Structure 1
Amino acid sequence: MTHLSPDRRPPATVHHPIPLTTEQPHAAPLAPRPDGIPDVTQVQLPDGRIVTGYTLTHTQPTGPARPAAVSPLAKNLALAGIGFAAVCGGLILLTSFITALANLVMNLIILVAVVAGLYVVLQIFGGGGGTTVNARKAIFKSNRFYG
């Protein structure tokens, strides 16, 4: 950005708004039109400007809409349905939990039985479970052999 000296700057153009200086009398109120279009009215502001627009009638704001009345029977039936759905869901979860717990206990019993059975089989057929006799150091008393 270059800074220009005051003598080399282009002249600035200033636009001034032209106020309405003519005094116009206020428009006389007109009868409402039968076609539903509101009347046009002119209002002069304190600074002398004139504003033209449609006249609108002020309507009172309505209060908050009251909800439709609901019968107590309908409320009770709705609450009963919600409660019944919650109870049914809870019962389904409870029965599912009990079934899963029973299956867990059954599987643990089967696991203990299988482990005990394997232990017994290894004791019977395993090579390290029997007694060994060293024949050279043995003393056979029935044959009267004392070595």
Structure 2
Amino acid sequence: MYPENTSHRPAEQTVTIHQPTPITPYPAAPAVPLQPGGVPAVASVVLPDGRVITGYAIEHNQAEPVTAKPLVSRAAVNIALGGIGFGAVCGGLVLLTTFIAALAALVQQLVILAAVIFGGFIAVQILTAGRRQGATTVNIRKAVIKRNHFHH
């Protein structure tokens, strides 16, 4: 069945059998006496196939009710309200700067108007002073003051 060449023959398979190691049973845990009021009630349940299962009733611990978390965190609400407030303040600041600029322009115009009116008043006084009829002209010459008397 195999050719003469032995290099192609399959190696013989060796079977190793492992025997399981026996588990030594642990000694039973010592029984702890329970308080008389702490013994749970024994309950029996009859299954539909007629078997009866007897055991201790276990009371399930009631979990504390979970408070519903808000859909949006308080930090996000505070950030949004801060942004709205900042936007309102910025709008007010824009209006305030516009008002200040308008007030400055008004003050500038009033100063220019006062300068024009006052300058015109001075110019009229100077120009009309030489044209008045009956005006007294005083020529001041060298005067000598001797012994508290004015001599000219």
What TM-score results when the alignment is normalised by the length of structure 1?
0.39
Select the structure of larger CA radius of gyration: 2
